[in-house]
Structure 1
Amino acid sequence: MFLGSYEPKLDEKGRVILPAKFREELSSGLVLTRGQEHCIYVFSAREFESMSDKIRQAPVTSKQARDYMRVFLSGASAETPDKQHRVTIPATLRAYAGLDRDLTVIGTGSRVEIWDATAWQTYLAEQEAAFADTAEEVIPGLF
């Protein structure tokens, strides 16, 4: 399970060093793809395969499902970390997420997200008030 927030740097070759706590689960391979809110989703190869299986079960007659599948899968890139635990983020994904040198990498349970550090701070500031004000059951059975 991926948890926590980290602040690595993007190097001049578009690589990021994976946080130590994420390395074991991602060491045998991972998939980077477009995430929602202009971040990059990072899945272990196993989790991405499971997610792909679920996506393929969506009816081909659903325009919303087709649109989601196209955006999600067309941006996907299978990668393997190098010996220094670095992963290259393809230029198209860096541009999509607006990545600069300063990054925030967060664990969200089954996946990792890579954000431009400024974009993450803006997003978090916007969401914290709503998080604190949540008065009803947003996640069934949680509260």
Structure 2
Amino acid sequence: MAEVATLRNFIGEYAHNIDKKGRIIIPARFREELDEKIIVAKGLDGCLTVYTMDQWAKLSEQLALLPNTNRQARLYRRNLMAKASECEIDSQGRILIPSVLIKEASLIKECCVIGTGNTIEIWSKEKWDGYNDEHSDDFEEVAESLTEFLL
């Protein structure tokens, strides 16, 4: 019997600053569905992606099935796994993001922590605003192209 994935309800957009030590608050609403430890990894489109430990274990299993002989599989697996980091949520709801990931996502001060349903993304405010500006007009067209998957 196939295992059913646990669906999360990470929704919303929250503005938080990353401090000089590399710590950022994970919104309380998101923390309700997280354990003390999470994985933060390089995401797509210039952000970081936050995974639960269960999600990360499943993703790792899927990545292990990719053929080592496929160049794109090696590239994706290396970039994702090498820069991923296990982070603990402290008593104030913050995580410490490693400097390599801060650099990857160009996190300086102002950040946006967004829910994408099953995962959380951390963006620099500048990149998030640019992404929204560039793609906001595409929303209806994209929705229409995904109709067969959503219904």
TM over 0.5: yes
Give the alignment partner of residue 133 of structure 1, picking from 121, 125, 141.
Answer: 141
Asked if the contact 1:47/1:110 (under 8 Å) is kept, the reply is: no
- Displacement of 1:32 in angstroms is 0.6
The Cα RMSD (Å) is 1.5
Which residue pairs with 1:95 in the alignment?
103
TM-score, normalised by the number of residues in structure 2: 0.88
Structure 1: tracts of 5 or more residues without a match: none
Greater mean alpha carbon deviation, residues 24-33 or residues 99-108:
24-33
How far apart in 2 are the matches of 1:127 and 1:31?
Answer: 27
Structure 1 residue ranges (4+ consecutive) displaced by more than 3 angstroms after TM superposition: 133-136
- Displacement of 1:28 in angstroms is 2.5
Structure 2: tracts of 5 or more residues without a match: 1-7
How far apart in 2 are the matches of 1:52 and 1:139?
Answer: 29
Tell me how many residue pairs correspond in the alignment. Answer: 143
Structure 1 letter corresponding to 2:47: C
Greater mean alpha carbon deviation, residues 54-63 or residues 131-140:
131-140
Which residue pairs with 1:6 in the alignment?
14
Identity of aligned residues (%): 36
Change (3 A) 1:43 1:131: same
Which residue pairs with 2:127 in the alignment?
119
Q: Deviations over 1:9-58 (max 9, x none)?
A: 11121100110111122232100111111111110111111111111111
